[in-house]
Structure 1
Amino acid sequence: MAGPSTALSPVIAASTHWLARAYPGGESNTVACTLAELQARQAVTVAAWLRYPTEIDAALVAIAGPGGSALLDWKAGSEPEDEYADGEGWRTWVDEVVVSWAACLLADPMLARRGVDSVIAALPAIPDPRPRPHARRGGGLPNEFRRLLQPDARDREAAVLLRHPDLLEPIAAMHRDSLLYLLDAEPAGLAPLGGDRAL
């Protein structure tokens, strides 16, 4: 895994927008809406870096396209009305797997921690101008992913829908198995497949 690539920016932006619209934190232009979107972006960023771990992977998806949100829209009941379809071009940049994995991370704090740790561990040690998480704080959390890993009371209140396991389940279930396999985790307890349950 060579680390994150800026080529993923359109995928991250569109997938974040999809999640924030499907599970809104409040009215537009409110603090709650912004806090919910920040949490969605952090989860989507981790999911995208896990799905496209190298610059080549990111370049290929930028060329071929991620597939769009059609199935996600159907699952969530958020299909755009025909009269508004012309303004929904951003949906073509939504990545179904990335959104599903992000939903898994938002619904399960332990899995989110495992996903972030996997991304951090795989980043190159050499100096790199590409965007990457900064050093961890004293509590051991990467700064960029604090709202995902350790949301405060305002974050949790803003993301009542975005983090609700039952509401996320139709989306999370679509590709949960592949994420658990990638992170070497089991559904119950998130133990390593080898049997060691220490995180």
Structure 2
Amino acid sequence: MQAALSPVIAATSQWLTFAYAAPGGALASALCEVQARQAVTVAAWLRYPTAMDAALVEMAGPGGAARLDRITGADRYDGDGEAWRTWVDEVVASWAACLLTDPELARLAVAAVGEGDHTAGTPFEFRRLLAPDEHDRRAAALLRHPDLVAPVAELHHARLLEQLGPPDQALIA
């Protein structure tokens, strides 16, 4: 099932790291990309929780980056020859932006995917998403800035909250 979501995760992560590029060199870019990929993975697993969901998106495709490009001002982008952009999932990008800017939502989302089909029998860790260190925060300063990613995050924030369900009082305490 994870293989079916690989194109969506890769393309959406790439879109986020292009739209909110890391300031600095290669190490900063790599740290930013890892954080984006972790957030996108959690978001994709939430959006497509079953093998059937993953298979359907693999067949139909997620929709592409066109609307996200318009919202972020990247609609002037000349995407000739970059078919990966058709595999960007707007909802997944929005949810990932929410997770990157709200540590509590990220914690709830990781807990939710820990109970799902995607992690069955597979160890997983999302440390850079859940507990970024100073290097991570600097590398993803734009990607984690609530005001900068707000236009993307707000697109499907309400749907993410619905997906996560009502907060468990035990988790909040």
**Structure 1 residue 183 and structure 2 residue 164: aligned?**
yes
Out of 92, 99, 109, the position equivalent to 2:103 is 109
- In structure 1, runs of 5+ residues without a counterpart are 135-141, 186-190
Structure 2 equivalent of residue 160 of structure 1: 141
Partner of 1:151: 132
Runs of 4+ in 1 over 3 A off after TM superposition: 123-127
Deviation for aligned residue 1:80: 4.5
Q: Is the 8 A contact 2:9 2:41 kept in 1?
A: yes
1:118 alignment partner in structure 2 = 112
How far has the Cα of 1:184 moved from its partner?
A: 1.7
Report the equivalent of 1:86.
80
Unaligned runs of 5+ in 2: none
| Aligned residues with identical type, % of pairs | 56
Structure 1 counterpart of 2:5: 8
CA drift at 1:126: 6.2
Superposition TM-score, scaled by structure 1 size: 0.81
Q: Which residue of 2 aligns with 1:98?
A: 92
RMSD between superposed Cα atoms in Å: 1.8
Q: Are residues 124 and 47 of structure 1, via their aligned partners in 2, closer, same or farther at CA, if it must alter by over 3 Å?
A: closer
Letter in 1 for 2:30: T
Aligned-residue offset at 1:179: 0.4
The whole-number CA distance in structure 2 between the counterparts of 1:171 and 1:126 is 30
Q: Does residue 167 of structure 2 align to residue 171 of structure 1?
A: no
Paired residue secondary structure (2:64): coil
Match of 2:18 among 18, 21, 25: 21
Richer in helix (by share): 2
Give distance in 1, aligned partners of 2:138 and 2:83: 31
- The answer (yes or no) to whether the contact 2:50–2:117 under 8 Å persists in 1 is no
C-alpha change, 1:105 and 1:55, in structure 2 (3 Å) is same
Aligned length: 172
Shift of 1:172: 0.4
Please name the residue that 2:68 is paired with. Answer: 72
- Paired AA for residue 177 in structure 1: A
Any idea what the Cα deviations from partners look like across 1:120-143, whole Å, max 9, x if unmatched?
Answer: 02247864xxxx4x2xxxxxxx5x
2:134, 2:58 → 1: CA distance?
A: 37
CA contact (8 A) 1:5 1:54 kept: no
Q: How far is the alpha carbon of 1:97 from its aligned partner? A: 0.3
